Amino acid sequence: MKYAHLGRTGLSVSRICLGTMNFGPVTSKEDSFAIMDAAHAQGVNFFDSANVYGWSDKGLTERIVGEWFAQGGGRRERTVLATKLYGDMGDWPNDGKLSALNIRRACDASLARLQTDYIDLYQMHHIDRSTPWDEIWEAMDVLRQQGKIIYAGSSNFAGWHLVQAQEAANRRGQLGLVSEQSIYNLVERTVELEVLPAAAAYGIGVIPWSPLHGGLLGGVIRKTLDGTTSRSASGRAADALEKHRPAIEEWERFCDERGEDPGDVALAWLLHQPAVTAPIVGPRTIDHLDGALRALEITLDESALARIDEIFPGPGGTAPEAYAW
């Protein structure tokens, strides 16, 4: 396993982050346990969750992770645990978002479900435009003083949100954000305009979610032809396939020429991006996890990266040069 520091911190995390969103709704508890054990066996120490995961049974995923920790054997101690808050956990006022009240309640509830007394990386799942940053950072600082969280991160923030958050933390003499989770993949490269430059400038590690764009980059056409497609035939991938079919066809030919699985090459491409700490993979089976780890062994030289840019051009660089002189 390869490791990297998370942003500007001294925290070492695996370059693949295990996403747990499937645990419960898609993957059984027993299979989820097996995947987490396999991840540790492969050196993956970075796990990501959220309080809303479980969907119709919000909190289910955190409970499964907590039950896995409860088995002992150093499982919790060997895991850099990340989870998130923001989404409504009920239909009563203050059951969501980033008020100081909800930050306190949501953290305590996640700790109980996860059966642990601290969260390594506590992430804001979305920007809350109605709560001032002084309130948010004061609440996060209280959690740190209580030993309930160690680091704070964000998810789905725009570049200017990162700046706003970090400058507010700097004024208070606080560490502020150490990570940002953004959708980032070969099809969706908008974050290259301003999010990635802002993250790099502030030492904020980038954790891409949906690295295969819902399976679109994982060989969807090939799998459709041989009848092995599943998730790739629905959701984000299905919505984007027809729009991007020529590029996807060329992408799969490129990967075939290299003798590599398209999904593994898509992950490898992300690992070659300077701002990226660790893409999140959400395996439904151990085989899916093993395949994702193959990306760590793939090296893309300048000619390969240039060919990929031809297939998926992206926004044209960073702002403002991408759209101005």
- Structure confidence at residue 170 as a pLDDT band (50, 70, 90): very high
pLDDT at 14 over 70: yes
Residues with a known catalytic role: 53
pLDDT digits (tens, 9 = 90+) for 122-137: 999 999 999 999 999 9
Report percent pLDDT > 90 for the chain. 92
> Which residue reads 């435009």 in tokens?
129
- Structure confidence at residue 6 as a pLDDT band (50, 70, 90): very high
pLDDT at position 237 is 72
Give the start-to-end residue ranges of the domains of the chain.
3-214+261-303
Please tell me the distance from the alpha carbon of residue 119 to that of residue 185, in angstroms, as a whole number. Answer: 27
Provide the CATH topology of domain 3-214+261-303. Answer: TIM Barrel (3.20.20)
- Structure confidence at residue 238 as a pLDDT band (50, 70, 90): confident
Report percent pLDDT > 70 for the chain. 97
pLDDT digits (tens, 9 = 90+) for 74-120: 999 999 999 999 999 999 999 999 999 999 999 999 999 999 999 99
Beta strand spans in 52-192 (E): 80-85, 119-124, 149-155, 177-183
Count of C-beta atoms within a 10 Å radius of residue 241: 19
Q: Which amino acid is at 174?
A: Q
20, 49 Cβ separation under 8 angstroms: yes
Tokens of residue 318, six digits: 């960073």
Q: Which long-range contacts (CB under 8 A, 24 or more apart) does 55-61 make?
A: 55/25, 56/25, 57/24, 57/25, 58/87, 58/89, 59/89, 59/109, 59/113, 60/23, 60/24, 60/25, 61/20, 61/21, 61/23, 61/24, 61/25
180, 207 Cβ separation under 8 angstroms: yes
pLDDT at 253 over 90: yes
